[in-house]
Structure 1
Amino acid sequence: MKPSVFNIALVGFLTASPAFAEERIEINNIYPLNQEYFQLSDSVYFMQDNRGYFEVVEGPLEEGPARCVGGGFGAQNGENSIQGVCVFGEGEDTFTMRWKAGEQGKANDWSIVGGTGKFDGMTGQGIATTGAEIMYKAMPLRQSHITGTVNIPKN
């Protein structure tokens, strides 16, 4: 009995490795604080443009430069419209994360919205928390701790 084309294709499909796999990430984004606040009668308008670097605690990434920009309104009751993007990496190999500030003190939500070079087709999501200022080489810096999962296609 000859194997059918369907059986050969099925065996090939079942034994092939996936094009990508979901992996956990944990990174610290560390940057000198560059932000402004404008106090309004019932809220504050916030904007930032922070340039720093990210270090990898866990996951399939290599540390490198990072830039985060964003802005929006924050109300006294904790509701807000603050959001932005962070671009991680450099040259042809970058990925862009969209973030939204958490409501009423909750963690920020993030998702990957694009990638170039080795990150082309990358997806992912998770949360980020921003800690108090830290001291590094006598400079006050802020650290955002980012956790979640990513899928990076094997290009």
Structure 2
Amino acid sequence: MATSGLKAEVERKRLLQRVCEEALRMAKPSEEEKRRTLRFSRGLTENLSEKLKSAGIEAEVEVQGSIAKDTWLAGEKDIDIFILLPKKYGREGFLKALEVAKNLAREGWREAYAEHPYIEAKIEGYTVDFVPCFRVKEASEAASSVDRTPLHTLY
């Protein structure tokens, strides 16, 4: 009796292991999907950086969120692009940076609001959020939770 119970328990664990492995395989992006998404994200950040510089806006452009943390799900096409501005620009700088992002997105964007205004754009099948924030070195310098996001990605 004890032997058959042990065998059944071992079999249940094997089955659970197979189910978990299959779920992980389905949830994780393939290497090709990763390459495509990272190449697109990199090109977008470089392009936006150049356009901001041409517009005379001092900013750093970074991918944040699940793409930056390598935690996105297969088939998910959401990219968070953060535009990190010096505080000297004030919130007016957010609007100027978003104008540049709107031009990059062309017509496929909509404006949205959280703690900061941002735009959501549809570009080449991806949903891209362009989110301006202030560049801060420590969380205590943040004017809002959005400003802390790049710090979260670092840790």
Specify the TM-score bucket, using the shorter chain as the normaliser.
under 0.3
Higher relative contact order (CA 8 A, sep 6+): 1
Larger Rg: 2
Which is richer in helix? 2
TM (norm. structure 1) is 0.25
